[in-house]
Amino acid sequence: MPVWLKAIVQSRAVWPVLALVLILIVAGSVSPNFFEIRIVEGRLFGNLIDILYRAVPTALVALGMAVVIGTRGIDLSVGSIIAIVGAVIVWRIKMGDPHITILFSALAAGILCGMWNGFLVSALRIQPIIATLILMVAGRGIGMLINQLYGGTDPSFESALLQWMSTGSIWLIPTRLILAAGIFLALWLLIRRTALGLFIESVGGNAAASNLAGVKAGLIIFVAYVLSGLLSAWAGVIMTADTHTSDPVSVALYIELDAILAVVIGGGSLAGGRIYLGMTVIGALVIQALTTATLISGLPPEYNLIIKALVVLSVLFLQSANARKAIGSLVSRRAS
Amino acid sequence: MSKKYLPLVATIAVFLALFLVGGSMYRNFLSTLVLGNILADNAFIIIAAIGATFVILSGGIDLSIGSMIGFVGVCMAVLDRMGWHPLATAAVMICFGILYGALQGFIIDYCDIQPFIVTLAGLFLLRGLCFMVTLDSVPIRHDFVDLYASAKIPLPGRGVLRSSAIVMLAALALAIFIAHFTRFGNNVYAIGGDKESARLMGVNVRRTTIGIYAIGGFYSALAGVVYALYTSSGYPLAGSTLELSAIAAVVLGGTLLTGGVGMVAGTLFGGMILGLISTLIIFHGSLNSAWIMISSGVLLFAFIVLHRFLVSSFDLRGTS
């Protein structure tokens, strides 16, 4: 095997990318026009663009989740944060704030939620899964309360700014893709071009040891949850702009599970110590490509969950040492 | 009194305190009628939480509970329409639950994947199967369902113990027996305390893990049966996010999510506290689900802080 081929095979990127390509090929063979991209009303349209377009909220949440998981934590409250952000946006719009202020209020709400989670995990030292469970349980209720602040009878709204972020485009490219790329770049610079990423990975690897080495583990963990809150808030802004309304009960239901899945498909381990930002985005794309492929292949949408479960299980099964050994011995017995 | 009973005592104290608060605010609150209704209305959550207690005691987690409840419900409803007796369906579904749980346990141990991810896939799979069985709400119409709804044991006062509550209490008794009076129960605590030590001490980790998740599957399927009979219908979205209520009940009941510490009986009171909160809010007359969610969250927070305090001051986890 040539060196470059070996390098590719041994790269951790190969399996998720292979899965994505495979899904796209299957989808392309089922639907002949799958790869077609055309320009409608000054914007690119097509299935591939659609996958990118729809994957943005999950990808943003998953990026925050990847950082939190890097600290050996988990953030279950992301769906609730999105619900709160949606309610805050509608509340401030009804109060007549300028829309750019509303955008910042929404992001501030997400940061506040992240600070609460970070406080519980780093200061009170509560296990991440329970600490974030608190906001997950209470958050949608908080969203409903915020909606009651303006009466809550008509949560729908119109906003040119949010509309532009949802369906608008710049130079043919949907705005949210540019926005997401910008956020990804900023996060990548923050994680990979400052010491923060190194600190997070060291805290996730061994919090006690990095504390002894002079890394303030508590502060690093706190920052990770704040980042996750901020990124969830961005996802919340886009999802609220999409629906023109605030629906705290059902918005972004199960998004925490999809986000965790994206991180795991991207090769992140829940045991912490590693952050793969690019691979996490690939993971989110795999999930969305799977959903889109299921829909356009004509299968009923109910199958989507089952296919997702089976794909996840088989990917994890192939990654596990025991299963590989069993398959390996089976193959070598056949060969001999 | 052994210090391992402290969290249980704290849970019971909070339950009694909440009950007394209700009694001081509303006439007729302090009655066996209210108590019987709380038991019956929350029977399915408590049953599911009992199964989750075993999983959490072993240091794992089971996210497939809510989907299992939904899936059992739609199967009961659809098979009822095809003329099956509800008891026969219940038996089949409980067997399915045990097998499904055992499979999850096997994958967790054999492939060495986090329980969170495996049971998450289990959640997706079962919810997807729900949608494949039916997309509509299907009523269950059978004489047995009427019998189930009307059967009750009178309690002193005006209260009654309904069938759901009876099933729940029987399930609880079985769970207490398994957890505290069998070798398997000891193994569960051992794995939750420290998996490697348990393995070195000769605990068969694979068999125990499979058993733990099989018990989880059994209890969530039983919860699904009780839920379907209680609501006499099956709905493919039933039980969404119920796994979180179950986990909250377990935590409120004094079990540590890190595993190894806790009691099955505490889960009963944890589930009753959740039920008591919604009953209090319903008595208040506002029927505001926002406040139910928020007060559950606040209570969860209070309990966790209380726990941290108990664990650190009484050294519940030993000197590790």
Q: For residue range B28-56, list pLDDT tens digits in order.
A: 778 888 888 888 888 999 999 999 999 99
Contact A144 B289 (CB under 8 A): yes
Q: How far is CA B221 from CA B72, B95, B193, B239, B253, in A?
A: 6, 8, 27, 12, 21
A316 → closest Cβ in B117, B293, B296: B117
Kindly state the percentage of chain B with pLDDT values over 70: 94
Contact B300 A126 (CB under 8 A): no
Across A40-54, B28-42, B52-66, least confident range: A40-54
The interface residues of chain B toward chain A in range 39-58, judged by CB-CB distance below 8 A, are: none
Chain A residues touching B289 at Cβ < 8 A: 141, 144
Contact A305 B244 (CB under 8 A): no
| Average pLDDT over chain A, rounded to an integer | 80
- Taking the alpha carbons at both ends of chain A, their separation in whole angstroms is 21
Q: Cβ distance B274 to A122 under 8 Å?
A: no
Question: Is there a single domain that holds both residue A244 and residue A325?
Answer: no
B135 in any annotated domain: yes
Kindly state the percentage of chain A with pLDDT values over 70: 92
B319 in any annotated domain: no
Exposed e or buried b for every residue in A278-309, given b needs 16+ CB within 10 A? ebbbbbbbbbbbbbbbbbbeeeeebbbbbbbb
Kindly state the percentage of chain A with pLDDT values over 90: 11
Burial class (CB in 10 A: 0-12, 13-18, 19+), A221: buried
Quickly state the pLDDT bin for A334 (edges 50, 70, 90).
low
Contact A305 B131 (CB under 8 A): yes
Strand partners, B184: none
Contact A126 B304 (CB under 8 A): yes
Contact B111 A317 (CB under 8 A): yes
The pLDDT, as a whole number, for residue B47 is 94
Contact B129 A125 (CB under 8 A): no
Tokens, residue A56: 């943005």
A26 in any annotated domain: no
A100 in any annotated domain: yes
Chain B residues touching A271 at Cβ < 8 A: 114
Q: What DSSP assignment string belongs to chain B? A: --GGGHHHHHHHHHHHHHHHHHHHHSTT-SSHHHHHHHHHHTHHHHHHHHHHHHHHHTT-----HHHHHHHHHHHHHHHHHTT--HHHHHHHHHHHHHHHHHHHHHHHHHHT--HHHHHHHHHHHHHHHHHHH-SS-EE---HHHHHHHH-EEE-STT-EEEHHHHHHHHHHHHHHHHHHHSHHHHHHHHHHH-HHHHHHTT--HHHHHHHHHHHHHHHHHHHHHHHHHHHTEE-TTTTTTHHHHHHHHHHHTT--TTSS---HHHHHHHHHHHHHHHHHHHHTT---HHHHHHHHHHHHHHHHHHHHHHHHHHTTTTT-
Question: Is there a single domain that holds both residue A278 and residue A319?
Answer: no
Question: Is there a single domain that holds both residue A205 and residue A165?
Answer: yes
C-alpha span between B259 and B316 (Å, rounded) = 12
C-alpha span between B27 and A106 (Å, rounded) = 43
B320 in any annotated domain: no
B285 in any annotated domain: yes
Q: Cβ distance B256 to B262 under 8 Å?
A: yes
Contact B128 A124 (CB under 8 A): no
Burial class (CB in 10 A: 0-12, 13-18, 19+), A45: middle
Quickly state the pLDDT bin for A61 (edges 50, 70, 90).
very high
Across A182-186, B35-39, B297-301, least confident range: B297-301
Of B263, B226, B223, B262, give the one whose Cα is nearest residue B243.
B223
Give the residue-averaged pLDDT of B182-192: 90
The pLDDT, as a whole number, for residue A9 is 59
Q: Which residue has the higher pLDDT, A39 or B276?
A: B276
Q: How many domains does chain A have?
A: 2
Question: Is there a single domain that holds both residue A118 and residue A246?
Answer: yes
A46 in any annotated domain: no
DSSP label of A172: B
Contact B298 A270 (CB under 8 A): no
Hunting for tokens 């279950």 — which residue is that? A76
Across A207-211, A224-228, B89-93, B143-147, least confident range: A207-211
Across A175-179, B138-142, B281-285, least confident range: B281-285
Give the residue-averaged pLDDT of A71-87: 89
Tokens, residue B121: 């896939």
B291 → closest Cβ in A141, A307, A322: A141
Is the confidence at residue B213, as pLDDT, over 80?
yes
C-alpha span between B182 and B194 (Å, rounded) = 19
Element (H, E) at A323: helix A321-335
Q: What DSSP assignment string belongs to B186-221? A: HHHHHHHH-HHHHHHTT--HHHHHHHHHHHHHHHHH
A252 in any annotated domain: yes
Angle at B124 between CA A301 and CA A19, to 5 degrees: 75
Element (H, E) at A296: helix A277-296
List, for residues A285-301, the tens digit of each pLDDT value: 988 888 888 777 777 77
Of A190, A188, A192, A203, give the one whose Cα is nearest residue A128.
A203
- Measured over the CA atoms of residue B303, residue B304, residue B308 and residue B309, the dihedral's sign is negative
Give the residue-averaged pLDDT of A252-279: 80
**What is the ipTM metric for this complex?**
0.71
CB-based contact, B82 to chain A, within 8 Å: no
Chain B residues touching A310 at Cβ < 8 A: 125
Q: Which of A302, A307, A308 to mutate to test the interface with B (most CBs of B within 10 A)?
A: A302
Question: Is there a single domain that holds both residue A273 and residue A320?
Answer: no
Is the confidence at residue B320, as pLDDT, over 50?
no
Angle at A112 between CA A109 and CA A118, to 5 degrees: 145
Question: Is there a single domain that holds both residue A215 and residue A287?
Answer: yes
C-alpha span between A253 and A143 (Å, rounded) = 14
Residue of A nearest to B255 (CA): A130
Question: Is there a single domain that holds both residue A320 and residue A198?
Answer: no
C-alpha span between B48 and B175 (Å, rounded) = 11
Helix (H, G, I), strand (E, B) or coil at A251: coil
Chain A residues touching B308 at Cβ < 8 A: 124-126
Tokens, residue B133: 């069985």
The pLDDT, as a whole number, for residue B315 is 58
Q: Cβ distance B123 to A297 under 8 Å?
A: no
The pLDDT, as a whole number, for residue A42 is 67
Closest Cα of chain B to A143: distance in Å? 8
A42 in any annotated domain: no
Domain residue limits at A318: 306-336
Question: Is there a single domain that holds both residue A172 and residue A319?
Answer: no
Is the confidence at residue B317, as pLDDT, over 60?
no
Q: How far is CA A156 from CA A92, A167, B13, B55, in A?
A: 12, 17, 45, 43
A149 in any annotated domain: yes
Closest Cα of chain A to B206: distance in Å? 13
Burial class (CB in 10 A: 0-12, 13-18, 19+), B136: exposed
Quickly state the pLDDT bin for B203 (edges 50, 70, 90).
confident
Q: How many domains does chain B have?
A: 1
The pLDDT, as a whole number, for residue A307 is 80
Is the confidence at residue A22, as pLDDT, over 50?
yes
The pLDDT, as a whole number, for residue B70 is 92
Exposed e or buried b for every residue in B263-292, given b needs 16+ CB within 10 A? bbbbbbbbbbbbbbbbbbbeeeeeebebbb
Quickly state the pLDDT bin for A231 (edges 50, 70, 90).
very high
Is the confidence at residue B319, as pLDDT, over 50?
no
CB-based contact, B149 to chain A, within 8 Å: no
Quickly state the pLDDT bin for A12 (edges 50, 70, 90).
low
C-alpha span between B167 and B147 (Å, rounded) = 14
Domain residue limits at B28: 3-314
Chain B residues touching A313 at Cβ < 8 A: 107, 118, 121
Question: Is there a single domain that holds both residue A124 and residue A241?
Answer: yes
Quickly state the pLDDT bin for A195 (edges 50, 70, 90).
confident
B120 → closest Cβ in A131, A134, A257: A257
| Average pLDDT over chain B, rounded to an integer | 85
Question: Is there a single domain that holds both residue A268 and residue A168?
Answer: yes
The pLDDT, as a whole number, for residue B316 is 56
Instruction: Return the CATH number at B126.
Output: 1.10.3470
C-alpha span between B59 and B209 (Å, rounded) = 10
Residue of B nearest to A320 (CA): B111
Question: Is there a single domain that holds both residue A134 and residue A184?
Answer: yes
Contact A141 B131 (CB under 8 A): no
Give the residue-averaged pLDDT of A112-133: 86
Residue of B nearest to A144 (CA): B290
Question: Is there a single domain that holds both residue A149 and residue A194?
Answer: yes
Residue of B nearest to A74 (CA): B116
Across A130-134, A198-202, A259-263, A323-327, least confident range: A323-327
Helix (H, G, I), strand (E, B) or coil at A46: strand
CB-based contact, B157 to chain A, within 8 Å: no
- Taking the alpha carbons at both ends of chain B, their separation in whole angstroms is 22
pTM of the model: 0.81
Rg of chain B on CA atoms, in Å: 19
| Beta strand extents in A107-200 (DSSP E only) | 169-170, 173-174
To 10 degrees, the CA torsion angle through A42, A43, A47, A53?
Answer: -160
